[in-house]
Amino acid sequence: MRIAALHRFTMAVLATERHDDLFVSTLELDRGEVSYSVDTLEAMSDRYPGATLDWIIGEDGVAGLAKWRNIERIHELANFVVLTRRNVEGGKQESSAIGSRSEEPGRRSSSSAGAIIYACNETVAVSSTEIRRRVREGEPIEAFVDPLVARYIHHNGLYREAYT
């Protein structure tokens, strides 16, 4: 079962509520159709000219970057910030993504796009797949997600069936 976009949006808002430096955009919801990362980044680049855009992904997503729609353009528009659950030796890893370069976590080159930056994410030592499995099996998730998000998931009965 796919979780409706509105549920995902609401969980993102709840998870970032206490972070004044983050915001959740409705851009993809407002589009009302299939949304590709490149389209979202184009729109964000137009909306915030001159801004440095970072696209955050989990480390399990790096291997598939070369398959993303118009990955070359994505690298022109943004950096990838890869959240890892472990320290990256020497602060960086090599990637098979097209046109990318790796940088040390927390360090920026003079370029505002095209880097793959690894950031150790020690606060969440579990994948979203594992969180969904735990919900399906009736196991607690409060240690892994924001308490407001956990309450929202339980209140709305999300992820109780297999996620496809």
Concatenate the DSSP letters of all residues of 2-45 into one string.
Answer: PPPHHHHHHHHHHHHTT-TT-----HHHHH-S---HHHHHHHHH
Structure confidence by residue, pLDDT tens digits, 51-96: 999 998 988 888 899 999 999 999 999 999 998 866 555 444 444 4
The ranges assigned to domains in the chain are 36-120
Please provide the DSSP assignment of 113-143 as one string: SSEEEEEE-TT--S-HHHHHHHHHTT---TT
Predicted TM-score of the model (pTM) = 0.70
What is the chain's mean pLDDT, rounded? Answer: 82
CATH topology of domain 36-120: Rossmann fold (3.40.50)
